[in-house]
Amino acid sequence: MKKIVFCLVVVFVFVSLAYARNAKVRVTPVRADVAFKAGGNHWGVYNGKPYYYYGDRYHEYYRNGRRYYYYDYHNSYDYQRRKAAAAYSEIDRLEDMKKAAQNARQELKGIKVNRARFYKEYSTDAAAQSMAEVTIQNNSSHDITGFYFKGTAVTARGQILINDYFEFSPQEELVSGQRATYKIPLSSFGSWAKFKIPPDNAKFTVTVEGVETFDGQTFSNDMFSAEDQRRLNQLKNAHVY
């Protein structure tokens, strides 16, 4: 008789464990009469502590003639609170990035390219070197030690001949309020090396996409992307009311 009872207990334990594993939740028995109060969104009680949750967070089962529930941690107050805290932290980080990007755009507005031209520089012992001559007026409040440019050549009919980036670090910083003209050697590989002098009906323009300052700051047009804005909107819609 004892062996039969022992076998039944073992079978019951294995069946219970298998059911709990298939439920894919952390199992904690909770009495039905203290599990929750009815309603669309519920105030629940777990281990004597009330919490608010959106929908039933318990999975019903029966044992010894009593009704119990599996406690679903991933829908619990504690889990939702931690999830919300992480979301608010990410919102703050993205908001800081957005403010920094807005400040960077304001700084870049003060750095103007007054004139730009593309040409080839020839020598007898090497291939022609692509060059960009750029005149820059620094009306920002910073001394500039490095530039990130985008050069574009477009015909009168709107055909884009080239649209590529290049960078340049002058020997001396461009002080706030000053203007300078730089002759910048472009890459000897890739699109700039292959690009020929544009025809007369094409316009070559250069824009400042980013700068590095003497005091170690970096301002760039891509500090806050469209993907960052999409993520910020998603988090706000889910967590900010």
User: Using only C-alpha atoms, what is the Rg of the chain?
Assistant: 33
pLDDT at 112: 94
Q: What is the pTM of this model?
A: 0.61
**Domains of the chain, each with CATH number or no CATH:** 24-75 (no CATH), 81-105+231-239 (no CATH), 107-220 (2.60.40)
What residue type is assigned to position 218 of the chain?
Answer: T
Residue 25 CA to residue 72 CA, distance in Å, equals 5
Model confidence at 60: pLDDT above 70: no
Q: What is the pLDDT of residues 162-217, one digit of tens each?
A: 999 999 999 999 999 999 999 999 988 889 988 888 887 789 999 999 999 999 99
Cα distance between the two ends of the chain: 63
